[in-house]
Structure 1
């Protein structure tokens, strides 16, 4: 339908949406469009609440997970919000759609000892080692996403007070980091980085051997490599450092809202799981030892 295409084009032009979100909208709304076409409906104004619910019911019957169906509802609601705002339809047919309850997967959290072992692996005598050390330290010290890490510019760092500014969807959050991370970053900035950059006006903080931006796959591989060197047996990805950052803060009594802000969570539900899992851990220790 033209209206669906117009909506996704508007999302693209706005520039305030990540590529992953845009792809999700396109994928989800393509499913909706195919279902509507199968019913012979050619006008968006004739897509009723019943049609939407039947579509979602069909997705469930096909074996789509509650998380995927919940995401489809988000996409559909975004579409109808656009349609109502632009007076293309008078009634929001998605208003009463309720997303199924989604159980968040258990966070992959490392112990403090495992974190220390991992952070000690890079060889600080080399430019690569200094870069890798700075990346690992910053991920654990701030809980930033890999997509944020590889896009950090020098201008986002405030080395005087020890913080990083992360922008996402037109919002900004300032995340502090500790003296240890500050020292590792300072060493990399003063020494290792100058051996990696190919031009003096390079803005990116982390650079590969080709003088280009690090890739997500590159970060994933180096984390895996250092985990093997540290003899960490549990599965580990860059996301584990992010989860460990949040879980260890909560474990030490950090305010949930503060952790939510630093993690960039829109909903407290995502952050609350760290508190819930910490309580489960304490209960397990109590049951085994008391």
Structure 2
């Protein structure tokens, strides 16, 4: 159906979705298109609530997991919201679709005080302390993954605007950071990093005393060490800072879809676990809630 292709193209051109989300939408809606084609339905306006429910039931029968079915429902709802908006249909056939309950491991989230205590531990009078402070601040301010953190280059930072380009498995997303993080990064770039690099053309943002790339294990050890110094009793890993970033945004009312984009989640099912209870530009959401 041309409406589905048009919807995907509109999402792509708007630039408001990550590549992972776009791929998920296309994959899910291709399944729907295949099913309705089997039924001989060629007009999107003829897709009823029953047709959608039968399609989801068939996915369940084929062995798709609850999380995958939940993601399909999100994609279908997004499509019909678009169709209603452009007045291609008058009734949203997806309105009453309910996602199956998806059990995800409970995220290890720190309190705001624990985060502040942790961020205050590095001795910023030293090059290492400035580096560690910048790493901790960036992890909490952006939710960046450790695998991205240890490979991020200086060129991926936009210090004027205040954002970072994260690259992971051929996907990219831009995440803003606040003035506090910008100040910590500036201090490290102008001072601490100069004492750690072995060559002036070094591209990596974070490096160790040998002038080499930081390892994920190295980041894990420094986070654990600072947590012990801060007398934080709960287990803390770099992933805990990432979870805390998302959870604290959601607690303050951030839009789930915006958080999903910043986290790089393919499905909002993963992001929803941070919610305890409207879509805008990420920068507006971030500035209002972080």
The TM-score range, normalised by the shorter chain, is 0.5 to 0.7
What RMSD, in angstroms, separates the aligned Cα atoms of the two structures? 1.3
Matches within 5 A, 1:124-163: 124-163=124-163
Matches within 5 A, 1:156-175: 156-175=156-175
1:229 paired to 2:229: yes
Match of 1:121 in 2: 121
Deviation at 1:100, TM superposition (A): 6.1
Match of 2:104 in 1: 104
Q: How big is each residue's C-alpha offset from its partner over 1:230-259, in whole Å with a ceiling of 9 and x where there is no partner?
A: 000111100000000000000000000000
Task: State the distance in 2 between where 1:143 and 1:98 align.
Answer: 29
Task: State the distance in 2 between where 1:108 and 1:100 align.
Answer: 23
Match of 1:215 in 2: 215
Task: State the distance in 1 between where 2:168 and 2:213 align.
Answer: 19
Match of 2:269 in 1: 269
Q: 1:180 to 1:223 in 2, by over 3 A?
A: same
Give SS of 1:188's match.
helix
Deviation at 1:98, TM superposition (A): 2.2
Q: How big is each residue's C-alpha offset from its partner over 1:128-184, in whole Å with a ceiling of 9 and x where there is no partner?
A: 000000000000000010000000001100000100001223332110000000000
Task: State the distance in 2 between where 1:138 and 1:228 align.
Answer: 20
Task: State the distance in 2 between where 1:221 and 1:171 align.
Answer: 27
Match of 2:40 in 1: none
Deviation at 1:97, TM superposition (A): 3.2
What TM-score comes out, normalization by structure 2 length? 0.62
Match of 2:194 in 1: 194
Equivalenced residue count is 183
Task: State the distance in 1 between where 2:115 and 2:249 align.
Answer: 14
4+ aligned runs moved over 4 Å, structure 1:
none
Match of 1:248 in 2: 248
Match of 1:39 in 2: none
Give SS of 1:274's match.
coil
What TM-score comes out, normalization by structure 1 length? 0.62
Deviation at 1:104, TM superposition (A): 1.1
Q: How big is each residue's C-alpha offset from its partner over 1:171-209, in whole Å with a ceiling of 9 and x where there is no partner?
A: 321100000000000000000001000011000000000
Structure 1 residue runs of 5 or longer lacking an equivalent are 1-94, 280-290
Q: 1:100 to 1:260 in 2, by over 3 A?
A: closer
